[in-house]
Amino acid sequence: MPEANASPATFPSRRPAVWQLRTRALPLGARTLVMGIVNSTPDSFSGDGVGGRVDLAVERGLRLLEEGAAILDVGGESTRPGSGAASERALSLGEEQDRLLPVLEALRRERPEAILSADTYRAATARAAIAAGAEIINDVSGLVWDPGMAAVCAGARCGLVVMHTRGRPDDWRSLPPLAPEEVLPLVREGLQAQLEAAAAAGIRGECIVLDPGYGFGKAWDANYALLRGQAGLLTLRRPLLAGLSRKSFLGRTLRPLYQGEDPEPGLREHASLAAQVAAVLAGASLLRVHAVRPAVEAAAIADAVLLGGGTPPAPPAAALP
């Protein structure tokens, strides 16, 4: 049995920070914020795409706001393996914008106070999304796949999510596996290089949130090694966003409970919540999720654990600069 005077478990501290968006400033660190996913696509890996229908995407976005989403992340192109993202099979610029921009514009009309993020790796789409009201650009390539992206974000002075991605979606199945001890140093060094590139382009540090990129070029158990060591990324001194919702590696872990088969994405919600709580306890300030209400409730419990009891602070208001 453990000794009665054994030290209590401790978790890494999230440093309070202000995320500077295009027209607002969002306090981070005191309470976990949830970013709700709006996939205006027919081929989302998670099964929640709306077939490019603007009305359904807007309906979903409004529902996620009612469920407690602090941010809506709207995307027009899938980045699942085989999607052709950033390859010769990628959507045309016009196709992506036709899916994305009307949703942003409609959400801005319906809920002008909502904080909108555009999930795109294309500079031209980012520029158009900002004009349509996006406060944040969520670039899964971390400013790598389109050399013009950094200049767009620097000029707009918008919020930016910089993700670590290893290779491109069509490469992921052929990438050599990573040993557990290799994962965190690889991600940390990659994000450090991306921060330096952003600074060289004139992007202010307070505009940036970092995403470890779960599932993006990290196969199966490598993601657990990353989650276990995620707190090591706090040395980069920027807030962390964790996108674990419905990821394939979670489904693989559940195979023994589903007759040896990967459960469909919609059946991975309980696993997603477990991973999201682990991410918060390992220092994440934001969660990017498909199911908002369960994530909001799970994050409230994780926040209470970090506080050692009591009620987490009320949701922070996004202040004007």
- The CATH number that applies at residue 163 is 3.20.20.20
Residue 287 has pLDDT above 50, yes or no: yes
In the block, which residue shows the tokens 């009305």?
55
Pair 269, 275: CB distance under 8 Å = no
The number of domains in the chain is 1
d(CA 272, CA 247): 8
Q: Note whether residue 5 is domain-resident.
A: no
Q: Note whether residue 7 is domain-resident.
A: no
Element (H, E) at 286: strand 286-289
pLDDT tens-digit series, residues 19-29: 999 999 999 99
Residue 298 has pLDDT above 50, yes or no: yes
Average pLDDT, the chain: 91
| pLDDT score for 41 | 80
The tokens describing 249, both together, are 């590696």
| pLDDT score for 84 | 53
| pLDDT score for 5 | 58
Where does the pLDDT of residue 86 fall: very low under 50, low under 70, confident under 90, or very high at 90 and above?
A: low
Q: Note whether residue 4 is domain-resident.
A: no
1, 225, 212, 74: CA torsion to nearest 10: -90
Rounded mean pLDDT, 157-171:
94
Q: Note whether residue 6 is domain-resident.
A: no
Q: Note whether residue 318 is domain-resident.
A: no
In a 13 Å sphere around the CA of 143, the CA atoms on its Cβ side amount to 26
d(CA 243, CA 141): 14
Instruction: Give me the catalytic one of 14, 168, 247, 268.
Output: 247
The tokens describing 247, both together, are 């990821």
Q: Note whether residue 294 is domain-resident.
A: yes
| Torsional class of 51: left (φ above 0), alpha (ψ -120 to 50), beta (otherwise) | left
pTM of the model: 0.92
Q: Note whether residue 243 is domain-resident.
A: yes
pLDDT tens-digit series, residues 188-236: 999 999 999 999 999 999 999 999 999 999 999 999 999 999 999 999 9
Residue 1 has pLDDT above 60, yes or no: no
Minimum mean pLDDT range among 9-13, 40-44, 85-89, 291-295? 85-89
| pLDDT score for 317 | 67
Range of the domain at 212: 17-307
Residue 310 has pLDDT above 80, yes or no: no
| pLDDT score for 46 | 47
Q: Note whether residue 3 is domain-resident.
A: no
Quote the percentage of the chain above a pLDDT of 90: 79
Where does the pLDDT of residue 3 fall: very low under 50, low under 70, confident under 90, or very high at 90 and above?
A: low
Minimum mean pLDDT range among 12-16, 138-142, 214-218, 271-275? 12-16
Active-site annotation holds for 218: no
Active-site annotation holds for 247: yes
